[in-house]
Structure formats: C-alpha cells, structure tokens
Chain A
C-alpha cells in the first residue's frame, strides 16, 4: 500500500516536474487534475463532520418530539416549526434583540469612531491610553455584566452615589428592576465593553487613509466634514462594514451581559433570542423545540448576513 502510494507520488512528481520533457500517462493526468482535491479532502471532511453534522443533527432533532422529561422521541413533522409561529414570547425576544442591536450598534460605531479620531494623531502616552481603552474587550462579558450590576447597585453602586452627589439628594434608581432603566443599563454595559473593539478597527483603518489626499484637501481648504464625507469615510467603509457585521452578529447573540444584569427581566422584558433559547433548552428541557428555534435563527442570520454582504458588495 505504502509502495503504491510512493509510486503514485513519484508519478505525480514526474508528471508535475517533467511535463515538458514527456507526455504524462492518462493516470498521471487524472491524478494531476485531482491532486489538489485529494490534499484538501481530509480537512474538508473534518470541517464537514465538525460543522455540518451538528447542524444536520439539530435539523433532524427539530422534527422530533424530544424533551428531557419524556421518553417519546417520535417524529412530529413540522409541529415544532408551526409552534414557533404561535409563540408570542419568541417573537417578543426577537423584538428585544432587534432593539438592543439597533441602539447599541450605532452607538458603538460612533463612539469607536470618535475615539479613533481622538487617537489618530501622535500624542504622548498614546500607546498606554490605547491599551487601557481596549481593556474592556478582553474582559469576559459575564464578568462585565456582574461588574456593572454592582456599579448600578442602589445602595453601594458608584453610579447612584455620583448621581446623588450631582442632584444634591439621594437618587435611588433600580437600574435592573425599573422598566424605564433596564434597557439603558444593558446598553451602557454593552457599549462600554465593545466600543473599544470598534475603536481599534477604525484606528487601524484611519491610519491607512491616503495622507496625500488629506493634505491635498487641506491645501484646497476643504472643511473637516467635507474631508470626512469625501475621503475618510469612503476609504474606511469596508472596515466599517466588516466591523458592523461582526458586532451586529455578536449583538444578535447577546447573552452574558443580560444574564448577569437582569436575567431577561423584569418579567421577560429584556429577554433576547439567546436567553430564550437557553431557557427553553436548559431550564424547560424542550430539546426539539430549542433545535427548531436555533435552526430558524441560523437561517435568519444567514439571510441577513448574505443580504448585508451583497449590499456592501463584499461578497466579491
């Protein structure tokens, strides 16, 4: 077998190196055509096993009646999918996810961009400041959420104390209980943690904007906003698009911060699709229904991503 393999490789080698000297055999030509595929085949097979198998398996599970509390695993057709459409809590969680994404993403982009603008020029201690500013992104989101929960604490939290100092009287805001403040609390935490990520990407992008164009515009007397609109933004647009896509997908999957801050409450007011999926799967033990939710979310996200990429002409 090994001899056969070496023989084959020699034939291939010969066919690759000595192609000009002599005409390769039919087998050699066939091998020459297929060698690249043969080389990548194991990797693709592993990727398919790791990536595609769970997907297919969860698709199969989504057509069954598997729960942790029952022994019945029979196929139920599209029953779980039909139930999705009647599940008002599911649609509410999609709405909550959309609200958080629609507010947090532009804020992160804006703050990240402003920070990048601030640090684009050389200044003393720039590297130290940049390193410090990036720190929140390296913290685990669950730790960030727990930390902000303490910051928002009505008795000991510094936020209440600062607000009380400014107001001159005790300010007692129940950030994680009062419906008026729960979304601001989540968004503050989210923006605090992930704006530096935008900042880093945009700082790199801004550093690569063509200086000669900027200097020419300055000589021509173009205003800051004109330069921004005509030169800077078009130059960094691909980076903005990729950054938005990465953060947008992250925001759709947001879990840890909300879990630590509100656990989806009060009631189900801040429950996002990830939280709901987790609750259905690991607290309510609805295995098949959870698989159906996950599958719909995957399809939804794939569609959105494809559309966004197409629109941004990045698929090329």
Chain B
C-alpha cells in the first residue's frame, strides 16, 4: 500500500514536472513554438496604411520572421478602403490575405458574410483563453465576438480622452477669478455645461494667444462625439421594437445645438479642423482643452519626438503641462479601434492565427503599444500596470490610469449591418450643422436616412443585430 502510494506520488511529481514548462509558457511562446512548423512560408496581413503599419513593417514582422522563419507581407490599405479590400478578397475567393485588421463596428457585416474565420477552436488549441481575460473589459466584452463566436482579438485601446493644460487650470489667478465667477473650482469639466463655461472663460481671458478648447471637427471624429453625447443625454438611436430612428428627438437637438455653440469659443475656422490641425493647435499651446485618441497624450509629452516617422508631428510646446481626464459626463466614446482577425479564405489559417495570437499576447503587445511611432494604444490590464510603460515620461502613470478608467467606462460605437451608411449619414449631418443649417431639420433628415438604410438592410435583420448590440454593457449608459 505504501509502495503504491509512493508510486502514485512519483507519478504525480513526474507529470507535474513534465507539464510545468507548458504551464510556464505564455501565449507568445506557445504561438512561436507552434508556428515553427510553418517556417519558410509567407503570410500576408492587411494593416492600416501610414503610421500604424510601421509596427509590422519595422518591429513585429521582422521579429516574427526571426522567431519562426515565417515571412510577413504587410498589405497597407487606407482606412476607408480596408473593408472593401477585405470583402473583395473574400468574394473573389482569392485568399490574398491571411490575417486582417478589422474595425470592430464592421464585425457584424464581415462575420455574417463569412469573411472572418471563427477563432474559438484555435484559442482553445493554443491555450489563449486565459490571456484574453487580461484585455480590458470594454474591448474584450464588446469588440471580440459576434453571435457568440470569437472573430477577432481587440488590439488597440482606442478611447477618447480629455486633455487639458494643467498650467492654466492651476494658475492661482485664473482659479480665483473662475471660482468668483462660477462658484466652483477651475478643474477638468465634469459635464458639458462646465466644459462650455471653462472654455468660454479661458477664451475671454487669453484669446487669441490661447483659446478655451479646440476640436477635430471634420469627419470622422464629430460623429463619435455626437454618438457619445447623444447617449449621455439619454438619447437612443432606434426604437428597439420598430427600428424607427429616434435620433431626431430632444436629446439629439440639444447636443447639436451645444456642439454648434461651442465653436464660438474655439479658434476661428475650427469647423475645418482635421486631426492634424487640432493636434498642432494643442501641441503649440493654442488651445487649453481638447478631446482625442490616446496618441495625443504621448505626443504632447514629447514621447517619440526624435522618431523619423513622427517628424510631421509639431514639436510639443506643452510637454509636462498636460493633464488627462475623462471626457465630460465620464463615459467616453471608444471610437474606432482595431481587432486582429483571420481571413476565412486564407490558405494559411493556422499560421495566420498564430501570428495574431503572438501579436496580441501580453508579452508582445506590451512592446507594441510602447512603439513611439505607431498608433496602437494600451488595451490590456497589464499594459496599464506596466512599470516599464509608467516610467516612459513623468506623467505616464496618470496617462495610463486615465486610459484605464476611460476604457472601463467607454461607450461602444454603433455597430449594425452596413454601419458605414449610418456613419456617412451622421458625418454629412454634422457638416451641415457647421454650415449653419437648423439642427432639428438636419436631424429629421438624418432620421429619414437612417430609416431608409434600415429598410434596405431589412428591418427584422437589423432589429436582431441592434438588439445584440444594445444589450452589450458599453452600448448605452446604464
């Protein structure tokens, strides 16, 4: 009996010892080990053209080839053509792309069409489920699955942050005058009324040297701002029973009127500002507040300023003076984002999957989100907590904490079948708003366009997709 117990104990120890290395292996190592059998092959990946693609071109692609012997061909595609290219490849059956970057709001269309490979079986086969839990809930719970299946790994922590000038907000004279006028402290605005008051106050005091705020007012950002503010004002995009658009109600009109009024304390011509115009104004110290994606915060701190690829970014005049906060009302729009997926027509599905698992893994993604020249933003709990990242510049801890909080409370982009059509209607409506058209008339037209799109897609089809989307935790504020 004792001998048998001894044998049993030995067997357990042997088993434990033999399985220990496997348990120690992280998802990145697992992917590398499994991918070595595909050495000598080439996989292609669709990546957003420009800065984003410098990640696979300069860093992850060569690294993967070194580790596995698999070559990575990067297919750079402008954002507005990515959906078309992916669908064209799928429809033709050419299988030109193996791995894909997919904007999460496209997932219903791509998954329904069959263009994306379900990833669940690979996730289990290559033990990736545990590491997926490290992805911040806002992305993991909202941007990873369609119809209960995993179609992509959230790989970019896009979320809107409020950036403000600490030196102005902490200036004793400004603080005293502000408190005397409005009866509360000059601090990052908690709601849009405060935002307007602070913006107007700073403009009155400091313009034309510094304006209270500046925004990226051309497509696509304003429609994300509208989506966020509209829902925070209690608006719903559709009547869930009839799928009739309800964007033209009081909430919509109120948000449109406020957005238009805010232009008055912003720099002249803000209606024409694009991403770079707004970035330049903030980095040069012309605006005291702005809302944008996380790269603004890194660049404002001067992170990556020596990089050749970032030469177009104006030299920051506000390094060390920028504070980070949640957007007014505290539920920022997640705004775009990227998932890593595998093309259903790929001839190298497993190799492509292993590459995206390795890219998305804790270990590799931490390095990637720190690349100064790309636009990938932190999206994992381990990124937010990374000591290495938190030491990159003096305010990096505050930056990461704000991204984490924003991510936790982030609102999802509307994501329906043929979402691009709804997005286009919103974008056009907002450009009409800047042109001075009556907000109610614009929203009525937008609602009509929404209804026409829904009707064309099929009311019942769309209702089912909307129901799934609206039930997600980040769809509407609870």
A→B interface (CB under 8 Å): 68-71, 153-155, 170, 172, 174, 176-179, 263, 265-269, 279, 282-285
Residues of chain A contacted by B435 (CB below 8 angstroms): 177-179, 265-267, 269
- Min Cβ gap A129→B in Å is 35
- Interface residue stretch chosen among B21-29, B149-157, B183-191, B413-421: B413-421
B→A interface (CB under 8 Å): 80-81, 83-84, 87-88, 91, 109, 112-114, 219, 267-269, 271-272, 417-418, 420-421, 424, 428-429, 431-432, 434-437, 442
Query: In the complex the two chains form, what is the Cα distance from A268 to B431 in whole Å?
Result: 9
Q: Is the CB of A285 within 8 A of B420?
A: yes
Query: In the complex the two chains form, what is the Cα distance from A37 to B328 in whole Å?
Result: 77
- Min Cβ gap B303→A in Å is 27
Residues of chain A contacted by B81 (CB below 8 angstroms): 282
Query: In the complex the two chains form, what is the Cα distance from A284 to B418 in whole Å?
Result: 8
The residue that B272 contacts in the complex, of A71, A176, A284, with Cβ under 8 A, is A176
* 9 other A-B residue contacts (CB within 8 Å) besides A266-B431, A279-B424: A69-B87, A69-B418, A174-B271, A174-B434, A177-B272, A177-B435, A266-B437, A283-B420, A283-B424
Chain A, interface SS category: loop
Query: In the complex the two chains form, what is the Cα distance from A265 to B272 in whole Å?
Result: 11
Q: Is the CB of B113 within 8 A of A71?
A: yes
CB pairs A–B below 8 angstroms (27 shown): A68-B84, A68-B88, A68-B91, A69-B87, A69-B109, A69-B112, A69-B417, A153-B272, A154-B269, A154-B272, A170-B268, A172-B269, A174-B271, A174-B272, A177-B272, A177-B434, A178-B435, A179-B436, A265-B435, A267-B431, A267-B435, A282-B84, A283-B80, A284-B418, A284-B421, A284-B424, A285-B418
Tell me the nearest residue of chain B to A281, going by C-beta.
B84
- Min Cβ gap A158→B in Å is 15
Residues of chain A contacted by B437 (CB below 8 angstroms): 266-267
- Min Cβ gap A268→B in Å is 6
Residues of chain B contacted by A179 (CB below 8 angstroms): 435-436
- Min Cβ gap B77→A in Å is 12
Q: Is the CB of A71 within 8 A of B114?
A: yes
Residues of chain B contacted by A154 (CB below 8 angstroms): 268-269, 272
Query: In the complex the two chains form, what is the Cα distance from A155 to B271 in whole Å?
Result: 12
Q: Is the CB of B87 within 8 A of A285?
A: yes
Q: Is the CB of B113 within 8 A of A70?
A: yes
- Min Cβ gap B102→A in Å is 14
Q: Is the CB of A69 within 8 A of B272?
A: no
Tell me the nearest residue of chain B to A157, going by C-beta.
B269
- Min Cβ gap B268→A in Å is 5
Residues of chain B contacted by A263 (CB below 8 angstroms): 219
Query: In the complex the two chains form, what is the Cα distance from A161 to B435 in whole Å?
Result: 22
